[in-house]
Structure 1
């Protein structure tokens, strides 16, 4: 699993360099492209990241002009993350990346879906055993 993860990250790197993103930043953006705004807590739960890891990522994305963090008017303890216009438009440039990774891996769409499902089950099973 470790070798596959490293190899996938190496394939992602030049694609993400085109976008000016690191892999963790790309993951945050993918979650926000699915649904925004999201609270910092929701992002952390979705990505399995603690606030100590997530906060610097969000700070960097904000400095790149891709996201904006705002305190919730309803609950000032809650910080919400919004896409900026630049962040939203980056989605179109990133749209082909998952397929490019699948092509590099030689996997069909159904095989990639099966792999994602299997890895999701593995992750859930290992996390529930904590």
Structure 2
């Protein structure tokens, strides 16, 4: 039997709301690569790469894309299990809302593309020539 829809919706809704503040063992990170078995290689603001696991409440519920941002909680050195250094406790769903928070690191700038400023011609009719209208 599958998970109840209310659990899925609660996990997805939680990802859109940023916390008020972070604790000393939490940090935002950028996902570099999916390693398999709910493990992800992430880059911290100080450019250090860490391997973190996905919290069980998000497994098979929320998908994390490469280049996306996550909130990582590091485990203490006593609880460390091999290479895994922490756990993903939240996924940045609404990046615009998260960027407004005071704890968003300046090392993660907003990426803009050159094409955003120009008008797209996708799905538009080609321009008509005034000479052909005779």
TM > 0.5 between the two? no
The answer to which structure, 1 or 2, has the higher relative contact order (CA under 8 A, 6+ apart) is 2
What is the TM-score normalised by the length of structure 2? 0.24
Return the index of the structure with the highest Cα Rg: 2
